Amino acid sequence: MEKSSVSTLLKMEGVTKRFPGVIANDRVDLELHNGEVLALLGENGAGKSTLMNILAGLYRPDEGFITIRGEKVSIHSPQDSMHLGIGMIHQEFMLVQTMTVAENIVLGLQDLPLIPPMAEIKRKIIELSDRYSLKVDPDRFIYELSVGEQQRVEILKLVYRGAEVLILDEPTAVLTPQESRDLNGIIKTMLSEGKSAIFITHKMDEVLSFSHRVQVLRQGKTVAACKTEGTTPQELANMMVGREILFKIKKAPYRPGEPKLILDGVTVEDPTGRPVLKDISLTIYEGEILGIAGVAGNGQTELTEVITGLQKAVSGRITLDSQDMTNKQPLHLIKAGMSHIPADRGAMGIVGDMSVADNLVMKRYRSEPIASRHGVMHATKIFGFAKKMISFFKIATPKPETLVKFLSGGNIQKTILAREIDSCGGVLIAVYPSRGLDVGATESVRNNIVAQRDKKAAVLLVSEELDELLSVADKIGVMFEGELMGIVDAATTNKEELGMMMAGMRGGNA
C-alpha cells in the first residue's frame, strides 16, 4: 500500500472505560492519520472492541476525549458517530435477518421520508456495489445470504452513509481466504478515495499486508504503537502477549488405535433434495486427528452436522465404537462421548444470558460430582469446577458468575472450547476452533486438541487454515462440492497438493 500522509484525522486522548470488575480501557491514546489503515492488536479481552465501540457511539468513555480534525467532539449515540463520518462493522453482525439488503442499508437513517423511495435507494446501492465490487442483490433477504455476503452488506451500509473512517472489528474472522482477499481490494479502493480505517485482527499476515501502522493494547493499556514496516509477526505476537510465542505444537508420535468413528457412504440433501454431502466414507481412529480442508461452503458444515446429529443422512451409515449412530439425536451422541465445537457459536454454542460457570458445566450437570446421586446440583462444586476451567483455559472474566454476553468475543469462544474439550469422551468434532482467538490462545487450543488425541480421542478438525491442519492433524481430507477428494498424510503432503484437491482434483487414497 502507498505511504500515508501525516495529517491527523482522529485522536483519542486518555480514554478510560470501566465495567464492573474490569478496566477495559485505561488512559488510551490513539491517533488515526488521513488515508491510513491502523491495525489495532491485542489479546482476547485487551479492550479493542470497547475502544472502538466508544468511537461508534455505543459506549461513553468515563474519562478522556476525542477530537476529529482538531475539534473536540462528543459522541452520544451511533447517530452522532455516523454524522461525524465514522462507520463500524462489529464483531457480531448487526443486520436484521428478516429484512432485505436494501431495507437494512437504510434502516435507522433519520433523514429518510416516511415512505422511502426504494427504487432510488436500490439504484444507489447497485451503483455503490459496482464501484467497490461488492456484489449483492438489494432485494435478497439477509437470512438468504452467506456470511461473506452479509459482510458486504455491512460495508455497503457504511459507504452508503458516507463513512470516512471505517472501523472493522475482526472482519476476516468469518471469511474464506478468497473473501479476505476481496476485502483487501475493497479497502484499497476506499483508501484511494481518501478514506481511513482502523482494522482489528488476530491474523499477523493481514496486519502486515493491510496496515500502515499498528497499535497494541494489553489489559486495556497501550503497550506499543509503531509503523508496520519493519515489524515481524513474531515481534507483534510477543508485544500482544508479553511473552514469547513459539507457534509450536507439542505432539506425541502418531500411533492410532482401533477405528472409532466410521462414516460409510453418507449422503445429506438440502431441503430441495439437492445432495450437499455426497457418499462420504471415512474412518477416524482412536488417537488420530483427521483434518478437513476445503473452501468454506463445500460440505464441511453438513459433514459435522450429520455426525453430531444436527442433520439427517438420507443414505449411508455412521458408527461410533461399532454402534449404529446414524440419525441419532444430539443428546444420544453427547452421552456416547461426542463433543462438538460448532461453526456458528452464537446460535449453537453458548447462552449469553447465563453465567460463565453455568455455561461451563452445561454438559456436566447430569453427572457427579456436579450433580449428586439424586440429581441435585451442588452450587459450590459448580463454582469450584468453573474456577478451575477458567484458570486452565485462561478465560478473562471478572467472576464465574459474570454473564457470558459481557465477555469479549474471544473469551466467549474460549468458554465453548473449554466446555467441549473438557467434556470430550472420546470423540471431538472441532469446527474452526481458533477463529477469533489471539495468538496465545490459538497456540493453547491447538495443544489442547492434540492432548485429547494423545489421550486416545478421535478428532475431526475442520479448518480453513492449511498451516493449522498441517501442524495439528495426522491425516487431512479435502472437501469439494460435497465430496471428499481424498485423504492424505499430514506429514508428507504440502500446500500445493491440498490446494489442487481444494480446487476439485482427486488425490491421496480417494
Ligand X SMILES: Nc1ncnc2c1ncn2[C@@H]1O[C@H](COP(=O)(O)OP(=O)(O)OP(=O)(O)O)[C@@H](O)[C@H]1O
The contact set with Mg ion (CB under 5 A) reads 49, 91, 408-409
Residue nearest to ligand X (CB): 410
Nearer to ligand X, 41 or 490 (CB): 41
Alpha helices in 349-432 (DSSP H): 356-361, 379-392, 409-422
Tell me the helix, strand and coil percentages in the chain, rounded to 5: 35, 25, 40
Q: Which does 417 bind (CB under 5 to 8 A by kind): Mg ion, ligand X, none?
A: none
Smallest separation, CB 333 to ligand X (Å): 30
Told to check if 444 binds ligand X by CB under 6 A, we report no
Question: At 239, is the secondary structure helix, strand, or coil?
Answer: helix
Q: Which is nearer to ligand X, 216 or 261 (CB)?
A: 216
Contact partner, 44, from ligand X, Mg ion, none, Cβ < 5-8 Å per class: ligand X
Contact of residue 411 among ligand X, Mg ion, none (CB under 5-8 Å per partner type): ligand X
Nearer to ligand X, 408 or 452 (CB): 408
CA atoms of 249 and 138, how far apart (whole Å): 46
Closer residue to Mg ion, CB minimum distance, 101 or 204: 204
User: How buried is 153 (Cβ within 10 angstroms: 0-12 exposed, 13-18 middle, 19+ buried)?
Assistant: buried
Query: Cα–Cα distance between 270 and 182 in angstroms, integer?
Result: 28
| Of the candidate residues 9, 15, 24, 484, the single one contacting ligand X (CB under 6 A) | 24
Q: Does 45 bind ligand X (CB under 6 A)?
A: yes
Residues in 365-424 at the binding interface with ligand X, rule: CB under 6 A: 396, 406-411
CB nearer ligand X, residue 48 or residue 345: 48
Which of Mg ion, ligand X, none has residue 19 at its interface (CB below 5 to 8 Å by kind)? Answer: ligand X
The three three-digit cell numbers of residue 199, written as one number: 482494522
Rounded CA-CA distance 103/203 in Å is: 33
Strand (E) or helix (H) holding 348: helix 345-348
Strands 458-462 and 427-431 come out as parallel
Question: 433 touches which of Mg ion, ligand X, none (CB within 5 to 8 A by kind)?
Answer: none
**Interface with ligand X (CB under 6 A), residue from 12, 15, 41, 46:** 46
Is-contact 435 237, C-beta < 8 A?
A: no
CA distance 64 to 69: 17
Assign 264 to helix, strand or coil.
Answer: strand
Task: Please choose which of ligand X, Mg ion, none residue 22 contacts, taking the beta carbon within 5 to 8 angstroms, the exact cut-off set by kind.
Answer: ligand X
> Which distant-in-sequence residues (6+ apart) come within 8 Å of 201 by Cβ?
39, 41, 170, 171, 172, 173, 207, 210
The residue (of 304 and 355) whose beta carbon lies closer to ligand X is: 355
All three cell numbers of 240: 500482544
Whether omega for the bond prior to residue 433 falls within 30 degrees of 0, making it cis, is no
Is residue 30 near ligand X by the rule CB under 6 A?
A: no
Q: Which does 42 bind (CB under 5 to 8 A by kind): Mg ion, ligand X, none?
A: ligand X
**Residue 44 binding ligand X, by CB under 6 A:** yes
Total of chain residues touching ligand X, rule CB under 6 A: 19
Site residues (CB under 6 A) for ligand X? Answer: 19, 22, 24, 42, 44-50, 91, 396, 406-411
